[in-house]
Amino acid sequence: MSTMKTISNEYLTVVIDPQGAEMQSLKHTASGREYLWQGDPAYWEGRSPILFPAVGGLWDGTYRYNGQTYPMPKHGFMRDKLWQVAEERSDSLTLTYEGPQEETDRQAFPWAFALTVCYALEGDRLVVTFTVSNKGSETMYFQMGGHPGFALPDFDEAADVDGFLKLEGDVKDVVRASEQGCVGPERFKIPLTEDGLVPLAVSTFENEALIFDGGQLKAATLFDKSRRPLLRVESCAPVWLFWSPQGVHSPFVCAEPWYGLCDSIGFDSEVSERAYINSLVGGGKWHGGYSITLCAD
């Protein structure tokens, strides 16, 4: 059993579990108000899992590399691994993992890698930085993503809308995951209110997540149902997802910056042809991440 780690400053207090390197709590220091979803299994037991070396679903649960087929679970296999503490300060925590360590992981991912995640407080902002290192000599192909869930305050089963999102960027439309969790070719309108906000309602997620590809989105601000701002998430990731359980009135929403995308329906080409795949030469390093800024409490 891992020991929880806490970083804090005058604005934010964050708790991270080395098991999965997963954030467990994100609080405003002065008020003690919790912003992170607390993992109620009645809805979704996760809080902020790290996705690697895949994001989303793969067609038939497999991919191909050099003519060989490899199995890969949805979102990869890093969510339950025990990471090691590399550096611990009052306002930052760096965790590392070198793999693959288990036989099932080696069968799924033939490249030697090292992952680092750094949680750092910069004033009223939490910066999450991912680093991927290729420890081998052959080019490695991977995807990486964040999956933080945020609590929607004053949740009411009788309410039609539980909150809103304000999107920043050149946003135009979304794609949807359907068969086997893979995306189809159709593009769909973004559900918006008259004042340009995305309502967080059952109807918004009737077709699973809202998936913004093509670098459309740069940041998003989460509002409560009274249109009071709660927090802002920012990332340079080329793909973003907003997810809440399909067909269920639920008290949280996930804002997920992805460096990758689930397969298209029927995809059977080499892994190097997967959408938004990252390639890393032997000995190389890759960086990505996102940040969360709390609005005035």
**How many domains would you assign to the chain?**
1
Q: Is the pLDDT of residue 296 over 70?
A: no
Q: Which candidate, 48, 247, 227, 234, places its Cα nearest to that of 152? A: 227
Average pLDDT over residues 3-31: 97
Could you read off the pLDDT of 152-187 as tens digits, one per residue?
A: 998 888 888 999 999 999 999 999 998 999 999 999
Q: Is the pLDDT of residue 1 over 80?
A: no
% of residues, the chain, pLDDT over 70: 99
Q: Which candidate, 108, 98, 52, places its Cα nearest to that of 75? A: 52
Q: Across the chain, what does the average pLDDT equal?
A: 95
Domain that holds residue 179: 5-294
For residue 36, what pLDDT is reported?
A: 98
- Rounded alpha-carbon distances, angstroms, from residue 171 to 90, 184, 252: 38, 19, 23
Q: Which candidate, 149, 188, 181, places its Cα nearest to that of 261? A: 181
Could you read off the pLDDT of 186-237 as tens digits, one per residue?
A: 999 999 999 999 999 999 998 889 999 999 999 999 999 999 999 999 999 9
Quote the radius of gyration of the chain (alpha carbons, Å): 19
Q: What is the CATH number of the domain that holds 203?
A: 2.70.98.10
Q: Whole-model pTM? A: 0.96
DSSP β-ladder status, 140-142 and 5-8: unpaired
Q: Which candidate, 280, 277, 268, places its Cα nearest to that of 62? A: 268
Average pLDDT over residues 270-295: 97
Query: CA-to-CA distance for 135 and 112, rounded, in angstroms?
Result: 5
Could you read off the pLDDT of 234-280 as tens digits, one per residue?
A: 999 999 999 999 888 899 999 999 999 999 999 999 999 999 999 99
pLDDT band with cut points at 50, 70 and 90 for residue 294: very high
Query: CA-to-CA distance for 138 and 286, rounded, in angstroms?
Result: 15
Query: CA-to-CA distance for 189 and 175, rounded, in angstroms?
Result: 9
What sections of the chain are H helices per DSSP?
103-108
For residue 112, what pLDDT is reported?
A: 98
